[in-house]
Chain A
């Protein structure tokens, strides 16, 4: 009897679960496997094209310094954007969680994370409008300063970094805020009444307790930034060649899909290593 119920329950669970998971299998997990397969081909296996197995695409990565250099450049970009976002975002999360009180906090928090959920392409475009030569920023700065300045940040490394920080800053604010909010105020009170200085409280109490949220935010920024291509393209112009744009080119311009697949898979491996290293901390953050 009990096993019959159990079996029926499992059948019901299967019925409810299989549509969603079949979909994920067909649209995500099989494609990722197909990508691994493509990465060891000489040519795309469509029509009557000749193809055979090869390690050449990976060899190309190892032998041609350009690809590895671009990956390194993207990793550096990821590190820069992540560091800036953490430095700017954590204090903001702290103010939201521990300084602002009452109803305004909820509204302010919503205002901070709202842009994050809006169209990222459009937000990058908005920076193009602001940063372009003789654009709004140029004019604003020149209106304030008495001597003429030529800013022209557009199509520069800084433009890419500014746009990316703008795109991903709300991530680290969100995760840090959730972690900071979970810290009981009475803990801070207790430390203070025992004579701890503000800095000591920050270093010994608040930072360690909010570390999981902070790391989660950092990882959630670092990973997509390393794989970004639209932001460097639009804000970097000629300087905007990164590992992501290299992959994009293989699929939309050069049409070397096997090489693109190999480059994508190398990026996936890097991403998985980072996620794996961070997973004990991510699990603690309970996001």
Chain B
């Protein structure tokens, strides 16, 4: 009996949490379809804010920049991260534990510290602010995630398969291409999607590394919000949330961070 009560109370509690997590996002999305410029209620439908996006050069170019940066970052981080994960899995050498431990600080140290440190360093070596610097920074942020996720997938891989392929005469490159990579492909895809999300949603590090003239989308949104906002920001924010949630849903399909699978 008490078990049943607990079940009901638990489900209600869960529903409340989900309400807390999603209600503001849904309100924000709803307001992007509201005609009033000052978020006045009652609600009156209008697609005006989305139409305006199409003629807003600043937002369009920032969006485009964010997207292509995310793709470049995904490509580089996935390739380098997968290579590193395979080496960490396949070979034994002194210092391996240290290399694994080195992945932790970039994930754990607040982005504010990393972002300001990058700004100082890249200015110091003469590279300065701008899109190349942003890409270098994003790749560094995404790499540890890719290595950790691909490593997790590799942990389920039977290393004797590699040995068998080697004994049968395959070269190390062939082993990697024909045996290892096909097995860990879901991990690589999940790592790549996560890298995309890290870059596409990145605000803090981009904020310190991007030039005012060529801001990424989150940086542009931050500066606009501080000046006072319009439903146009709601519209672009709604689109961003839709993109990043779809990317993460895809990533969840390919990895097992859902726990049991």
A residues engaging B (CB < 8 A)? 9-10, 12-13, 16-17, 19-21, 23-24, 26-32, 34-35, 38, 44-46, 88, 91-92, 94-96, 99-100, 106, 108-115, 117-123, 125-130, 132, 135-136, 139, 166, 169-170, 173, 177-178, 181, 198, 220, 223-224, 226-230, 233-234, 244, 247-248, 251-252, 257, 260-261, 264, 267-268, 271, 275
Bound state CA distance, A91 and B110, in angstroms? 27
Chain B residues 210-227 with CB under 8 Å of chain A are 218, 221-222, 225-226
Residues of B within 8 A of A234 (CB): 222, 225-226
Is B108 in contact with A119, judged by CB distance below 8 angstroms?
A: no
Q: A271 and B91 in contact (CB under 8 A), knowing A31-B120, A166-B20? A: no
- 6 contacting pairs across A/B (C-beta < 8 A): A27-B139, A28-B140, A94-B10, A117-B197, A118-B244, A130-B23
B185 CB, nearest partner CB in chain A, Å: 18
Per DSSP, chain A at the interface is: helix
A94 CB, nearest partner CB in chain B, Å: 8
Residues of A within 8 A of B233 (CB): 125
Is B24 in contact with A126, judged by CB distance below 8 angstroms?
A: yes
Is B22 in contact with A230, judged by CB distance below 8 angstroms?
A: no
A136 (CB) vs chain B CBs: closest residue: B27
B137 (CB) vs chain A CBs: closest residue: A27
Is B21 in contact with A169, judged by CB distance below 8 angstroms?
A: yes
Contact of A99 among B10, B22, B208, B237 (CB under 8 A): B10
Chain B residues 237-261 with CB under 8 Å of chain A are 237, 240-241, 244-245, 248-249, 251-252, 257-261
Is B241 in contact with A118, judged by CB distance below 8 angstroms?
A: yes
B residues engaging A (CB < 8 A)? 2, 6-7, 10-11, 13-14, 17-18, 20-25, 27-28, 31, 39, 41, 80-81, 83-84, 86-88, 90-91, 93, 99, 102, 105-106, 108-114, 116-124, 136-137, 139-140, 143-144, 147, 172, 197, 200-201, 203-204, 207-208, 218, 221-222, 225-226, 229, 233-234, 237, 240-241, 244-245, 248-249, 251-252, 257-261
Bound state CA distance, A118 and B28, in angstroms? 14
B163 CB, nearest partner CB in chain A, Å: 13
Residue in B91, B240, B249 whose Cβ sees the most chain A Cβ within 10 Å? B91
Contact of B83 among A16, A91, A247 (CB under 8 A): A16
Bound state CA distance, A6 and B218, in angstroms? 48
Is B140 in contact with A106, judged by CB distance below 8 angstroms?
A: no
Residues of B within 8 A of A129 (CB): 24, 27-28, 31, 39, 234
A208 CB, nearest partner CB in chain B, Å: 21
Is B80 in contact with A23, judged by CB distance below 8 angstroms?
A: yes
Is B120 in contact with A126, judged by CB distance below 8 angstroms?
A: no
A109 CB, nearest partner CB in chain B, Å: 6
Is B109 in contact with A271, judged by CB distance below 8 angstroms?
A: yes
Residues of A within 8 A of B118 (CB): 27-28, 31
Is B113 in contact with A271, judged by CB distance below 8 angstroms?
A: yes
Is A119 in contact with B218, judged by CB distance below 8 angstroms?
A: yes
Bound state CA distance, A113 and B243, in angstroms? 16
Residue in A44, A117, A220 whose Cβ sees the most chain B Cβ within 10 Å? A117
B113 CB, nearest partner CB in chain A, Å: 5
Residues of A within 8 A of B122 (CB): 31
Contact of B121 among A30, A114, A123, A260 (CB under 8 A): A30
Bound state CA distance, A23 and B79, in angstroms? 12
Residues of A within 8 A of B18 (CB): 108, 111-112
A122 (CB) vs chain B CBs: closest residue: B237
A132 CB, nearest partner CB in chain B, Å: 8
Bound state CA distance, A178 and B2, in angstroms? 25
Is A12 in contact with B172, judged by CB distance below 8 angstroms?
A: yes
Is A177 in contact with B259, judged by CB distance below 8 angstroms?
A: yes
Q: A34 and B83 in contact (CB under 8 A), knowing A28-B105, A92-B13, A110-B258? A: no
Residues of A within 8 A of B23 (CB): 130
Residues of B within 8 A of A23 (CB): 80, 136, 139-140, 143
Q: A24 and B143 in contact (CB under 8 A), knowing A119-B244, A122-B241? A: yes
Is B11 in contact with A119, judged by CB distance below 8 angstroms?
A: no
Is B116 in contact with A35, judged by CB distance below 8 angstroms?
A: yes
Bound state CA distance, A272 and B201, in angstroms? 26
Is B113 in contact with A268, judged by CB distance below 8 angstroms?
A: yes
Residues of B within 8 A of A127 (CB): 24
Is A13 in contact with B201, judged by CB distance below 8 angstroms?
A: no
Q: A95 and B14 in contact (CB under 8 A), knowing A28-B140, A117-B248, A178-B259? A: yes
Is A115 in contact with B22, judged by CB distance below 8 angstroms?
A: yes
Is B21 in contact with A115, judged by CB distance below 8 angstroms?
A: yes
Q: A16 and B221 in contact (CB under 8 A), knowing A10-B93, A114-B248, A264-B113? A: no
Residues of B within 8 A of A244 (CB): 110, 112
Contact of B99 among A17, A28, A88, A233 (CB under 8 A): A17
B238 CB, nearest partner CB in chain A, Å: 8
Bound state CA distance, A229 and B205, in angstroms? 12
A178 CB, nearest partner CB in chain B, Å: 7
